[in-house]
Chain A
């Protein structure tokens, strides 16, 4: 910025005086009043919109909570159904072990050397996942609200101490722009009178005229003025923004939790379908094998060499069917 471009305070004041003298203050006041009325009306409209939005937010939060609750219920139901089928499969496989043992006895009573079928199975065990329910989120939201209240409280205390303990840091506003409650501009006073008037303005201005004075036995008095309101307002705004941000974060987590529960429920349903399939196949093969075993039982302990081709094929089919059952034992759910 060059020297020539600098404008002296005198030239600014002259310009301001010239501009001010050309203003029709009455007309401006009227316009200001009309504008105030119009803007005030708009503020009321926006307030109504804000309240309607808040109501909708509350409904949406309730819906999200309901979604979380119902998704957990569905997960638990799906898990219970799958678990029941897992237990049924376990019982069925235990029965199948007996059937295979009978076939082994029959085969070994005929064959020259003992044979064994793999009749060990791995039980299907799946862990139940635990998810946060709405109460947990409610608790965390309450904690966020308490933090916001904590911040708002600390702000007012800190603001009070700023205004009370170090008034000189803030007094420039009063001495620059303010007027004392008598109507005298503070900047027009000097010395101790200026300091007292400024303190009175900072500490509540016209309250001194009402008899309370700066020292009214209340800590809040120290910041009951524009500086205090600004500090408190900034503190409250910070608390609101922090709280909103935490609420949004919690809602995001809630949304993710619901997604996780639903994805898990879908996986559980898939597993349930697979267990059902293995169960049905195991039941069908075991039942069929019992029938084949019964057909072959008359050959128990007999000499294989004297068997007809028909009998040998029956035994061959029995062995293959038993192999099938033992392969089904190895089936687990990934």
Chain B
């Protein structure tokens, strides 16, 4: 602990290795930053551009990885890339793009597993390959319409992340040996599951609060409406009694009560005929 406290971090960062660390972290941070900006954009054009760029890059990389010099790429090969871009990112935008991305991850996991198959245990290899198989299984379910695309994307994102974590922890075998690697794998798996559990628990808590809030609102609105209804009913009963009185067969009563009714209805005082003199004036003048 003392050693760690005494190590000058500035010195470490200024060393050639530290500079490389900073450079690599900056690169990853820049990629993440742009990715967040693009993927969280509300503009659908941005998302389409993101998909077009991705498909273009993946197929161009494929060509370059096969040893092709960029200057040697023929027009028909560019045409082929353009065709793939339009197929995956433009013409069949949406579900087929999601499938394209996760089939890419399934392939990537398989390829990565193959690359470390000789240095990791059979169990570790099987558990990694199981993930790519599960991703492909989800794709099949999506195509059959057994799961929604939203569920598919969410589950495949988690599966792919689990794949990356398993690959990383399994590859530690080359550095720390198989005994400690198992421990590292267990710890990383625990971390992954814990992280997932925390996210889910948070989502569950939010949803539970919303649902409880809705039930509470129902009760509150029902009670408010009942109170309102009672008030209106009371007013209405009062007014109905005045109406009954106002149309009473007794003329003497009906004049007086018609005044009460008109007042209760909101007629202005000067409009009302309250006495015989008022009635005379109304008809004679």
Contacts and interface: CB of A to CB of B under 8 A. Distances in A.
Interface in A16-72: 29, 32-33, 35-40, 42-43, 46-47, 49-50, 53-54, 56-57, 60-61, 63-64, 67
A327 B58 CA distance: 77
Contacts of A113: 285
B57 A209 contact: no
Interface stretch (A82-90, A120-128, A160-168): A160-168
Contacts of B174: 178-179, 205
Contact of B158 (A29, A155, A229, A240): A240
Interface string B45-68: 001001101110111111011110
A288 B285 CA distance: 28
A232 B164 contact: yes
B14 interface: no
B207 A7 contact: no
A40 B189 contact: yes
Interface in B156-193: 156-158, 160-161, 164-165, 167-168, 171, 174-175, 177, 179-180, 182-183, 185-187, 189-190, 192-193
Given A53-B197, A320-B258, A5 B276 contact: no
Contacts, number: 439
Contact of B36 (A169, A207, A215, A242): A242
A91 interface: no
B67 A219 contact: no
Contacts of A277: 232, 235-236
B153 interface: yes
B189 A179 contact: no
Contact of A61 (B207, B236, B284): B207
Interface in A242-275: 242-244, 246-248, 251-252, 254-255, 258-259, 262-263, 265-266, 269-270, 273-274
Given A36-B182, A64-B210, A240-B157, A156 B39 contact: no
Interface of B: 3, 6-8, 11, 17, 20-21, 23-24, 27-28, 31-32, 34-36, 38-41, 44, 47, 50-51, 53-55, 57-62, 64-67, 94, 97-98, 100-102, 104-105, 107-108, 111-112, 114-119, 148-150, 152-154, 156-158, 160-161, 164-165, 167-168, 171, 174-175, 177, 179-180, 182-183, 185-187, 189-190, 192-194, 196-197, 199-201, 203-204, 206-208, 210-211, 213-214, 217-218, 221, 224-225, 228-229, 232, 235-236, 239-240, 243, 246-247, 251-252, 254-255, 258-259, 261-262, 265-267, 271-273, 276, 278-280, 282-285
